[in-house]
Amino acid sequence: MTKAAYAAFYFMGELYFDYASTTKVKKEVLDEMIPYFMEYYGNPSSIYSLSRKVKSGIDKSKNNISKLINCKRSEVYFTSGGTEADNWAIKGIAFANKDKGNHIITTEIEHAAVLNSCKYLESLGFKVTYLPVDHKGFVNLETLTKAIDNKTILVSIMFGNNEIGTMQNIKAIGEICREKNVYFHTDAVQALGQVPINVEEMNIDVLSMSAHKIYGPKGVGALYIKKGVKIHNLIHGGEQERGRRSGTENVPGIVGFGKAAELAFENFEEETDKVINYRNKIIDLLLKIEGTQINGALGKDRLPNNINVSFKGVNSEGLLIVLDNMGVFASAGSACSAGAIEESHVLKAIGLSLEETKNSIRFTFGYDISDDIIEVFVDKIRIAVNNIRSMDC
């Protein structure tokens, strides 16, 4: 351990490795938001000049977001976050197309926002197929093709998995859906800003996004809806967002999301390359700790910032507490709102044993990673793992 590394750690005071859960807002994002609280506070729907700047802030944000996924500005609709976007996509398409069919296809490894929207639809009489995944977390394309029948209206498959980082072959899935004439929704909350997304090339009809996973504020997200897609509204009221999503816009949040998207677009290659290199470096260093197993896909099929490992004989719940005391913040499974750790449906779906699942921990990070940080980080992980193992608990 170098002196400089420790100095860096004490300066930071914390080693935050939970970027998949949320990120710290970038300074430029906050700076962009602040004027929209007290200066440009007008209601964007009003027609007087005070509101013009507010309206243009929203338009600019849409423009920046559309560039990140290669769609038209008019195809971006703001929501209260990724969860609302997923709910809207799935329920909205189901309700609007029920004359065509009542069958939806998704996977066993989706985010709760997708899975629970599907469960809700099942309670209303819709039929849902939950596709299995292989040991790395991939959906089999043949299985998907076979699952589509003449009652199928929607396929919802996430872009990159929030727990194990596995990214699906989205372009191939999009092609299958287009060929079979069913709508394709993807939850791209984790992938946005991290990997290239092109809704046109990938045949994506509907795509969910969230600001707080890309250094924007919490409580704002967006749904891309391709022009012509038949989808019902979920929120009825004053007809904002061109009549599709009512409610006075969260203007500072939307402006912050737009700035975060602009920064992600501008710095894309530099940040992504950096994060991928560090991920590979951290994985190599963690594998030097005896009894370490990497979960999920590797290489280009993995989200740049995701590491999921099982340390043999080390219960992750205990490890998280030890790490917390050492100033390292990470996640295991999916933290439910009560703060307890539930057995991960994703790790179960990729066929890990209960033991491996209980020993699994997720480290996610971002553009501000550095050599000094990883040096201290890996050192602390090694100490914590060895301590727990020597206590034999």
The tokens describing 103, both together, are 């069958």
Q: Using the CB atoms, write b or e for 40-75: b if 16+ within 10 Å.
A: bebebeeeeeebeebbebbebbbebbbebbebeeeb
* CB closer to ligand PLP, 170 vs 189: 189
> Does 177 participate in catalysis according to the annotation?
no
> For residue 61, how far is the Cα from the chain centroid?
19
* Per CB under 6 A, 217 contacts ligand PLP: no
Please answer whether residues 385 and 319 qualify as being in contact, where contact means their C-beta atoms are separated by less than 8 angstroms: yes
Which of the ranges 100-108, 170-178, 205-213, 357-365 carries the binding residues for ligand PLP, by CB under 6 A?
205-213
Site for ligand PLP in 149-168 (CB under 6 A): 158, 162
Q: Is the distance from CB of 250 to CB of 81 less than 8 angstroms?
A: no
> Which residues, in sequence order, are CB contacts of 16 under 8 Å at separation 6+?
24, 329, 365
- Which of these, 56, 84, 365, 64, lies nearest to 210 by C-alpha position? 84
Using CB under 6 A as the binding rule, whether residue 213 contacts ligand PLP is answered as yes
Binding mask 229-268 for ligand PLP (x = CB under 6 A): ----------------------------------------
End-to-end CA distance of the chain: 28
Task: Name the residue whose CB lies closest to ligand PLP.
Answer: 82
Q: Which of 71, 118, 336, 393 is catalytic?
A: 336
Residue with tokens 């099929």: 301
Residue closer to ligand PLP (CB basis): 199 or 381: 199
The Cα–Cα gap between 120 and 295 comes to 30
Nearer to ligand PLP, 110 or 375 (CB): 110
**Residue 213 vs 358, nearer CB to ligand PLP:** 213
Instruction: Give kind and range of the element (H or E) at residue 8.
Output: helix 3-12
Q: Which stretch binds ligand PLP (CB under 6 A): 126-134, 207-215, 248-256, 361-369?
A: 207-215
Binding residues for ligand PLP restricted to 83-122, rule: CB under 6 A: 83, 86, 111, 113
Q: Does 296 bind ligand PLP (CB under 6 A)?
A: no
**Residue (22 or 74) nearer to ligand PLP, CB:** 22
Q: Which residues bind ligand PLP (CB under 6 A)?
A: 81-83, 86, 111, 113, 158, 162, 187, 189-190, 210, 212-213, 221
| Active centre residues (catalytic) | 336
